[in-house]
């Protein structure tokens, strides 16, 4: 761990991404304390006010403070990211480990399911799932989680195939260790590096998917302060009040970019083939 943190810290860009994400996380956790106004409170006397000392990011067409809505929107983004990635991580990694370890017919069945899911564009598949389940934040998290299952499944399966013939796995089998114990204690810890990297990247994908689906009207409820909904509502006022769309768009872009560069930094720090280059 000490070597990992040393290599990661030397990647200044990735470290900056981590700091930005920590700031977003703090913003999400302490939104009631940090937001200067109630994000739902309408003020007809302050509609479409430009950024000022009273409203740093201006107000929207209903007089609501945009900064406050962005702060509360970070809660939606991180909640959707954590739960949806958790769903895809658990199901995908479990299926990938089982397919790679047992092989045979079970591997073929799971792999074909993954191939079918991969054959659909991710946003299109999420749209179909949302159309079936209906519009709500819970259904949104389920839809995004289901979409990214095959990514984790394929990564876990490939990693298992590369180590399942190792001597320590054969030794565990030879002394009669239970297959479940082998998968949990010997295989899973040794394939965590690519899974950790993909988890970080998937957070950015989940935030993007949530914003895209909410922008299309198939995400969270219309009155919820989501970055995607703010973009949808702000696009109609771009010529008159550019801040309605620009600031939510910048927030989403910065969060997604931070997750991506953090994922790249983790990949470089965890990949043994790149250690010499980094050191």
Asked if pLDDT for residue 158 goes beyond 50, the answer is: yes
Dist. CA 263–CA 197, nearest whole Å: 5
CATH of 12-27+66-278, picked from 1.10.3720.10, 3.40.50.300, 3.40.50.800, 3.90.79.10, is 1.10.3720.10
State how far Cα 174 lies from the chain centre.
40
Of residues 26, 53, 39, 6, the one with CA closest to residue 248: 39
Domain ranges of the chain: 12-27+66-278
Q: Which pLDDT score is estimated for 279? A: 47
pLDDT reading at 278 higher than 60: no
**What is the three-class DSSP state of 185?**
helix
Separation of alpha carbons 128 and 216, rounded Å: 13
Give residue-wise pLDDT tens across range 98-144: 999 888 898 899 989 888 888 877 777 888 888 787 777 788 888 88
Question: Region 270-278: what's the mean pLDDT?
Answer: 55
Distance CA 75, CA 73 (A): 5
pLDDT tens for 18-69 read: 899 999 999 999 999 999 998 888 888 888 888 888 888 988 888 899 999 9
Q: What is the reported pLDDT for 273?
A: 54
Query: Environment class of residue 10 by beta-carbon count within 10 Å: exposed (0-12), middle (13-18) or buried (19+)?
Result: middle
- 101 touches 187 (CB < 8 A): yes
Percent of the chain with pLDDT over 70: 96
* C-alpha–C-alpha distance, residues 80 and 139, integer Å: 10
* pTM, entire model: 0.83
| Cα(144)–Cα(210) distance, integer angstroms | 8
> What value does the mean pLDDT of the chain take?
85
- The pLDDT, as a whole number, for residue 30 is 93
Query: What CA–CA distance (Å, rounded) separates 61 from 242?
Result: 12
Q: Give percent above pLDDT 90 in the chain.
A: 21
14 near 8, Cβ under 8 Å? Answer: yes
């Amino acid at each position: 761990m000490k070597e990992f943190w040393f290599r990661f810290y030397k990647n200044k860009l990735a470290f900056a991404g981590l700091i930005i994400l920590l700031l977003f996380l703090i913003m999400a956790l302490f939104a009631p304390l940090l937001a200067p106004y109630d994000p739902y409170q309408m003020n007809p006397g302050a509609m479409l006010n430009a950024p000022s000392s009273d409203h740093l990011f201006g107000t929207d067409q209903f007089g609501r403070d945009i900064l406050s809505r962005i702060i509360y929107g970070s809660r939606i983004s991180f909640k959707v990211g954590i739960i949806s990635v958790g769903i895809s991580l658990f199901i995908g990694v479990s299926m990938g480990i089982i397919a790679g370890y047992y092989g045979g017919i079970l591997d073929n069945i799971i792999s074909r399911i993954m191939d079918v899911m991969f054959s659909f564009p991710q946003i299109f598949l999420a749209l179909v799932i949302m159309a079936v389940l209906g519009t709500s934040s819970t259904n949104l998290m389920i839809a995004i989680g289901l979409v990214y299952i095959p990514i984790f499944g394929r990564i876990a399966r490939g990693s298992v195939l590369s180590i399942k013939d190792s001597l320590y796995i054969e030794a565990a089998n030879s002394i009669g260790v239970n297959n479940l114990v082998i998968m949990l204690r010997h295989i899973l810890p040794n394939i965590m590096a690519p899974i950790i990297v993909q988890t970080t990247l998937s957070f950015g994908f989940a935030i993007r998917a949530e914003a895209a689906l909410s922008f299309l009207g198939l995400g969270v409820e219309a009155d919820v302060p989501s970055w995607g909904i703010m973009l949808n509502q702000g696009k109609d006022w771009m010529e008159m009040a550019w801040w309605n769309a620009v600031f939510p768009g910048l927030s989403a872009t910065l969060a997604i970019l931070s997750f991506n560069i953090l994922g790249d930094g983790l990949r470089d720090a965890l990949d043994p083939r790149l250690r010499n280059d980094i050191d």
